[in-house]
Structure 1
Amino acid sequence: MPSTTILITDGEQRAALAVVRSLGRAGYRVDVCSTRGRSLAGASRHARCEFAVPDPLHEPSHFAEAVAGHCRDRAVDVLLPIAEPALLALLQARDSLAPVRIPFPSLGRFRAISDKEALTEAAARLGIRVPEQRVLHAPAEAERQMDSFRFPLVLKPARSVGEAGGQRLKVGVRYAMDPGALRRELSQLPAQAFPLLLQQRVVGPGVGIFLLRWQGRRVATFAHRRLREKPPSGGVSVYRESIPADPALVELSEALLAAFDWDGVAMVEYKIEEATGTPYLMEVNGRFWGSLQLAVDAGVDFPRLLVECALGREPRPCSEYRSGVRSRWWWGDFDHLLARMRRSADALALPPGAPGRGRVLRDFLTLWKPGDHSEVFRFADPVPALRESIDWLRRR
């Protein structure tokens, strides 16, 4: 193990930092690349080196060439892409990276599970509830159906990284509270956003089921619930808590991953409808997720387990962990606070029952309570938090 070298991409991502810390503590040699060269994960004391690479979103082939060159020069054994653009680029170039191990399925399977239209169809066949939805292949299709829509609607591109005319673009989720808002949003969307899912909004807490499957067996299980998000209407979690994994949701999630013949890590995200308690599938991310550090803190070390699988070992299955562990991404939580203080609930498209500004401020000022962990700052590894703080202030 001491001679095993791991390369982590997307060093600017918090998930990359969690992976670097996990594998560094386990005794692996860890290298980090990013588009900037100086990154969050690269600042960790567990990173042996960090270097700059082309942007995988806009220059996928040049990015893959740079990664392949480093793998040859530094005798990399395992390559762990973190973000979706890096995964798309490296899975496309997998043959040129051999014999480096990339513990993810084929490009075809990754594309299939990342396609929300195909995913919701597969889920429905398995009896998994999905929000009521329509699929648009062009903006003009909405006008013909406008009278039948039930607002508010969530506008969700079928793919997070869309492609059109040979160009890739990251496209996010939007909200439309009425027909006028829907027309405005559709007029602003690029071609890469289509096909576009128009989903009925599900109001309720977000729950994630996190799994590692390898060669048809479940190696690790974890679950958390979202407490606060950025943006406040719904996005990445900035404060979240480990919870016992609901056996029924775990079974449904594993069946869904098995339908795509999935090997590797995955996050299966649900919304639990407040009025009925019914879980609705939101999406599946077939990669490491932003709040990965929480799982590690609670006792499920997904990065170490995935690398052991990649190296041909058989790690002991892990499904026991501590509930009530909370993880706070401080700067993300501060962004949540700023958004709530500066903009109205309507402007933010908040769901009914969202806490008022006074409650939001009180919650933020509760800087720590038993069970809380800082996601980025660690006394034993403080430099990433310093680098993140400098970057946040520069953006302001």
Structure 2
Amino acid sequence: MGHEGVLVRDKTVLILGCFPRISVPIAQCLKNHGFDVYVGDIGSNPRNLYSNYIDGLFKFSSPERSGDCFLSEIVRFIDEFQVDFVVPVSDGELSALAKYEDQLRSRAVLLLPEARKVRAVLDKAETLRLAKNLSIPAPETFYVSGEDDLDVVCENASFPVVVKPSDRSVATPLRARHAKNEADLRAILLPHIGSKIMWLVQEYLPGQGVGVEVLFWNGEARVIFQHRRLKELPVTGGVAVRCISEKPDQKMVAYALSLLSEIGWEGLAMVEFRQDPVTGRVGLMEINGRCWGSISLPIKCGIEFPYYAVILASGEEIEFPERYPLGQKMRWLSGDLERSLQLLAQVRHGEATLGCFFRDASISFSDFFGDTKDALWSWRDPCPAMEDLRFFLRGLIRRVVKKF
């Protein structure tokens, strides 16, 4: 990730990926330190992004559909706007930058390590293999690429299970899904058998998601932050819509650092675990080898991961905070509202109680009046939060209209 061969000019950053709850906090963080910030959107993302902290939003061709067009467009953009740093914000952008690293590293600093190391975090099967070699606990996992594999899983797995693609860099119509029984599992996977995609079927671990967030540099952790998910989307487990900062758990930190060290990682990463609060059991879920969905929480706690990464990548040094506030909560409003709709649907289907829905809703309501931070809202920059809410409401209206 270093800056060898790159002349660092005026400080200009291209955030590659238009995901408001990730892209906007990064932009605000870097803009506050004097950077010019642009956002590049790849593919056909229908979102708009308006922010006082973003100097421009540009569209690039999808690297999956037209790699040559994507490469020529991003090279032209880097040269024209004299971009110094490129920051990926999702697995698709991370994969694209790794694929074209030979053509791009001479023009700008890419905030990611070498492509082979990126593959170790994008390929969940490889991540789990490394974890097993390091004796890091993980859910029992089966690999499915054909009907014979599916039969083996149905005979041996303990339900419920979680189904997900092994390769996070490949766009698939099926992301993480939960199967309560064999019938569910077959209904989920059979339409996708033969698609040349390897699927993971994992034991479902109850509990909460825990993220160990690290700036790993020259073989050591320079900054560590930890959050716990209090609410997730989907309800059964997924991205954080409400989370809280907490003291790093030494056992999970040790697992995370040994895994990143084994890979030879350089840069930002969030190593995700799931922990059962009753038994204390911990299981590795995955590694996010780029800025993660709840990046706003550490930034609001004074841990400015994007800024630190850019400074180190430019060859400079900086003093890092030794502590951060514990117990700081943050919620993503649009995600929280979507979660409420999912809970309501579960109530209708008898999968959740009305009491569960009202308890969840009361917490959402209280967050408007307590010290819970919002992932996007800022009085100095209100447009991103308003646009994100508008996007959610527009989608909700379309779903309602479609039913009638």
Deviates more, 1:145-154 or 1:280-289: 145-154
8 Å CA contact 1:229, 1:336 repeated in 2:
yes
8 Å CA contact 2:143, 2:149 repeated in 1:
no
Residue 63 (structure 1) aligns with: 70
Q: State the shift of 1:61 in Å.
A: 3.4
Cα gap change, 1:257 to 1:346, in 2 (>3 Å) = farther
Letter of the structure 2 residue corresponding to residue 384 of structure 1: P
Residue 282 (structure 1) aligns with: 285
8 Å CA contact 2:344, 2:357 repeated in 1:
yes
8 Å CA contact 2:230, 2:240 repeated in 1:
yes
Q: State the shift of 1:347 in Å.
A: 7.4
Residue 267 (structure 1) aligns with: 270
Q: State the shift of 1:59 in Å.
A: 3.2
Taking the aligned partners of 2:9 and 2:325, their CA distance within structure 1 comes to 29
Taking the aligned partners of 1:332 and 1:55, their CA distance within structure 2 comes to 26
Cα gap change, 1:368 to 1:199, in 2 (>3 Å) = same
The TM-score normalised by the length of structure 1 is: 0.91
Cα gap change, 1:145 to 1:89, in 2 (>3 Å) = closer
**Percent identity between the aligned chains?**
27
8 Å CA contact 2:122, 2:169 repeated in 1:
no
8 Å CA contact 1:161, 1:169 repeated in 2:
no
Match of 2:246 among 243, 249, 253: 243
Cα gap change, 1:37 to 1:338, in 2 (>3 Å) = closer
Q: State the shift of 1:37 in Å.
A: 8.7
Secondary structure at 1:363 match in 2: helix
Residue 138 (structure 2) aligns with: 130
Secondary structure at 1:43 match in 2: coil
8 Å CA contact 1:294, 1:327 repeated in 2:
yes
Secondary structure at 2:73 match in 1: helix
Cα gap change, 1:124 to 1:144, in 2 (>3 Å) = closer
8 Å CA contact 1:84, 1:161 repeated in 2:
yes
Residue 294 (structure 1) aligns with: 297
Taking the aligned partners of 2:76 and 2:174, their CA distance within structure 1 comes to 30
- Structure 1 residue 359 and structure 2 residue 359: aligned? yes
8 Å CA contact 2:226, 2:247 repeated in 1:
yes
Cα gap change, 1:69 to 1:233, in 2 (>3 Å) = same
Match of 1:90 among 92, 97, 116: 97
Letter of the structure 1 residue corresponding to residue 53 of structure 2: H
Secondary structure at 2:335 match in 1: helix
Q: Deviations over 1:74-117 (max 9, x none)?
A: 11111112111112112211222223110211111101222111
8 Å CA contact 2:242, 2:336 repeated in 1:
yes
Q: Deviations over 1:41-78 (max 9, x none)?
A: x4111112222212344334322321111100011111
Residue 392 (structure 2) aligns with: 392
8 Å CA contact 2:111, 2:310 repeated in 1:
yes
Residue 165 (structure 1) aligns with: none
8 Å CA contact 2:29, 2:306 repeated in 1:
yes
- Structure 1 residue 6 and structure 2 residue 13: aligned? yes
Counterpart mapping for 1:162-201 below 5 A: 162=170, 168-169=171-172, 171-189=174-192, 191=194, 194-201=197-204
Letter of the structure 1 residue corresponding to residue 390 of structure 2: I
Residue 105 (structure 1) aligns with: 113
- Segments of structure 2 that go 5 or more residues without pairing to the other structure are 1-7, 398-404
- Segments of structure 1 that go 5 or more residues without pairing to the other structure are 163-167
Secondary structure at 1:227 match in 2: strand
- Structure 1 residue 382 and structure 2 residue 382: aligned? yes
Letter of the structure 1 residue corresponding to residue 52 of structure 2: R
Cα gap change, 1:246 to 1:354, in 2 (>3 Å) = farther
Taking the aligned partners of 1:232 and 1:370, their CA distance within structure 2 comes to 23
Cα gap change, 1:388 to 1:125, in 2 (>3 Å) = same
Taking the aligned partners of 1:354 and 1:266, their CA distance within structure 2 comes to 38
Q: State the shift of 1:151 in Å.
A: 0.8
- Structure 1 residue 77 and structure 2 residue 84: aligned? yes
